[in-house]
Amino acid sequence: MSAATTLPAGLRADSRISLRGHLRHTGALVRRNLLWIRQDPESMADAVLFPVVFTLLFVYVFGGSIGQSLGGGQEAYVQYVVPGLMAMMGLSMAQGVGTGFNQDFNTGVMDRFRSLPIGRGSVLFAKIAVELLRMLFATTVLLVVGVLVGFDITNWGGLLAAVGLSAVFGSALMWVFLTLGVVMKNAQSVQAMGFLVLMPLQFGSSIFAPTDSMPGWLQNFTDVNPLSALADSARGLMVGGPVAGDLWLTLAWSAGITAVMAPVAIHKFRTRS
């Protein structure tokens, strides 16, 4: 008996699907997920509320004190923190794709998909595509709120480049959380693991405040933290400053995470019993 005939029926079908077929399946699944969001608009609450709450919280609670350290006041801090918060959009949406993916398993949706003659990778790529759309929506809300509290957009080309860079890094992180969504038993476990991973990365970075006053050991961590590189490159693109080093570091992290975690996520999804 050949190796191909020993595979489950879904995997044998997957191996015979062309690239065009994969793209068609991905498009159909993206449409299915968007229709689900249309029927359940509450699922967009995090994409709407997260940027509003965090922008207002950090600007009006920490803006005065941190802004003074930046050589200005609240206005200076708005210019600093809004690009940093853009870097956070990818993390929040990435965690959401993991919990949603896990819930689809526990409710039987994935069992239905895995029984159909569709590409296994198409299910994952569709999830990422929809979450990227949600991330772009959340970023738009963030920028609108940022402008209302005083953020000054002077470089539209740099703004679009920063949004694109955040989307690239966010899509890389989604592979990590898709893997967690497959291997964890429930959505609560995915959220707990995400919290343990994301909190040190978020607050041990330059997203919310400059790192100059941090202890030396923490500065060493922030220097290699991909969120610091993403926030600093977005800041440089949107409001001016050095970009090249942080930009290439962010792209390198994105490529590395995707190269490692995308095959793992697809393999775990294919072989989950």
Nearest CA among 207, 44, 209 for reference residue 136: 44
For CA atoms 8, 9, 14, 17, the dihedral sign is positive
The count of residues in the chain is: 273
∠ CA 78-80-85, rounded to 5°? 85
- Rounded Cα distance between 152 and 10, Å, is 52
Give the pLDDT confidence score for residue 4 in this predicted structure: 43
| Intervals of the chain under pLDDT 70 | 1-19, 21, 111, 113-120, 273
pTM, two decimal places? 0.85
Contact in structure between 149 and 59 (CB atoms under 8 Å): yes
Whole-Å CA distances, 30 to 24, 128, 161: 10, 9, 25
Q: How many angstroms separate the first and last alpha carbons of the chain?
A: 22
∠ CA 86-65-82, rounded to 5°? 10
Give the pLDDT confidence score for residue 24 in this predicted structure: 78
SS3 of 98, please? helix
Give the pLDDT confidence score for residue 114 in this predicted structure: 66
CA dihedral (50, 229, 221, 174) in degrees, to 10, reads 50
- Rounded Cα distance between 153 and 150, Å, is 10
Give the pLDDT confidence score for residue 2 in this predicted structure: 41
Give the pLDDT confidence score for residue 146 in this predicted structure: 93
Give the pLDDT confidence score for residue 223 in this predicted structure: 87
Give the pLDDT confidence score for residue 10 in this predicted structure: 46
Instruction: Give the phi and the psi of residue 230 in degrees, each rounded to 5.
Output: -65, -45
Contact in structure between 156 and 63 (CB atoms under 8 Å): no
Domain boundaries, the chain: 9-271
Structural tokens at position 216: 């030396």
**Amino acid code (one letter) for 61:** V
